[in-house]
Amino acid sequence: MVCLRGIVLTLGLCLLASVGWAHPHVFITSQLTLVFKEKKPVQLDVEWAFDEAFSSLVLTDYDSDMDAVFSPEETSVIRQEAFDYLKESSYFTFICHSGVKRHAVAPTSFECLARKGIVYFRFSVPVSPPPSASSPVRISQYDPSNYNAIFLASGSPLIFKGDVPETIDLEIRENPDETYYFDMLHPIEAVISFDGPGA
């Protein structure tokens, strides 16, 4: 069995931005859920759906009984070899508010599953609530090396869950003030305001 870690290094899932010019080799569709408690954001739930080619590699290497179900043991190995290495790149997840450009990202859970030949990673990260409603929360997901292309899910890319405040506004927009990959690309951000539209 070919070790997925080697495949991941080759395809760039764990590769950082120090490598040379590149175009995406892995394509990820991300669905985000922002969980609220007492009207403050406390957790971000993330689901990544991988492209068919990368999904096939994961299934081939780790679904040993070919039942399209990852056992707890298989999931643990996948986490160690294809997820935990993303710590240095913030798990491609960047949360900003209150003057802090990048809050720490430390997943508290991880799940790997497959549906109709597509592999999904699901993980949750705590969110440090902003001290006041006047501070919007900005969330973006991207790979600074550009070996992985991450797209927000179409339709409702970010869902609110829990004790959601009444005056809340969501805007999906490009951030022209931030760049990555040799200053060629701008991250797409989900901007959550708590004072209503235009805050």
What pLDDT does residue 22 have? 59
What whole-number distance in Å separates Cα of residue 195 and Cα of residue 153? 25
Task: Report yes or no: 126 and 105 within 8 Å, Cβ to Cβ.
Answer: no
Q: What is the pLDDT of residues 153-179, one digit of tens each?
A: 999 999 999 999 999 999 999 999 999
**What is the average per-residue pLDDT within 107-123?**
97
Q: Is 0.85 topped by the overall pTM?
A: yes
Task: Report yes or no: 178 and 186 within 8 Å, Cβ to Cβ.
Answer: yes
Task: Report yes or no: 187 and 138 within 8 Å, Cβ to Cβ.
Answer: no
pLDDT of 10 above 70 = no
Per-residue confidence band for 60, with pLDDT thresholds at 50, 70 and 90: very high
Residue 45 three-state SS: strand
pLDDT of 8 above 90 = no
Look up residue 52 and give its amino acid.
Answer: E
Element (H, E) at 53: helix 52-62
Per-residue confidence band for 146, with pLDDT thresholds at 50, 70 and 90: very high
The tokens describing 156, both together, are 């409702």
